[in-house]
Amino acid sequence: MHTEALTQPELAALAAGAPGAALVGRLGGYVAGPPMQWLWAIRESQVREHPADLEWIARPLFVDGVEPAVGIAGFHAAPSPEGSVEISYEIDPAHRGRGFASRAAALLVAEARASGRVRTVVASVAPSNEASLRIVRRLGFEQVGVVDDPEDGPELVFHLPLAG
């Protein structure tokens, strides 16, 4: 399993809802289509203001032997000055129930650790999202609070401190 960073032109095309046949073929209709266009629009605007976020934000998620992309995985932004990043993943409904979300979350934690820039990995999960709650708890995240997300409503906030 791996992610592939998007180029700024690819991100702009996805955000505009005009990815072209080649990009749709590589990413699939879920990742490159209307279900995820809202996310690409947010991230494209973000990258225009903070270009360094491009390498950290949501990226297409691929599994060897499975085409096209099975979902997206990445971070909300580059690490904060305090060294924290928030993980984000979404699996195409056609590929759910195969452990891809668990693997994606573990991949992101490993990526954060390997960067040398992250001290804390954050996950915000809706209280009703039992699958993601199991994933973050299995990875060792500890609940530290609750936030009221203006778009998603109440979310449980989890932290995973990374050693040294």
- Note the pLDDT tens digit of each residue in 121-162: 999 999 999 999 999 999 999 999 999 988 889 999 999 999
Encoded amino acid at 50, one letter: H
Q: Which residues contact residue 94 at a Cβ distance below 8 angstroms, ignoring those fewer than 6 apart? A: 30
How far apart CA 117 and CA 159 sit, in angstroms, is 16
- Note the pLDDT tens digit of each residue in 93-123: 999 999 999 999 999 999 999 999 999 999 9
Q: Are 3 and 59 in contact (CB under 8 A)?
A: yes
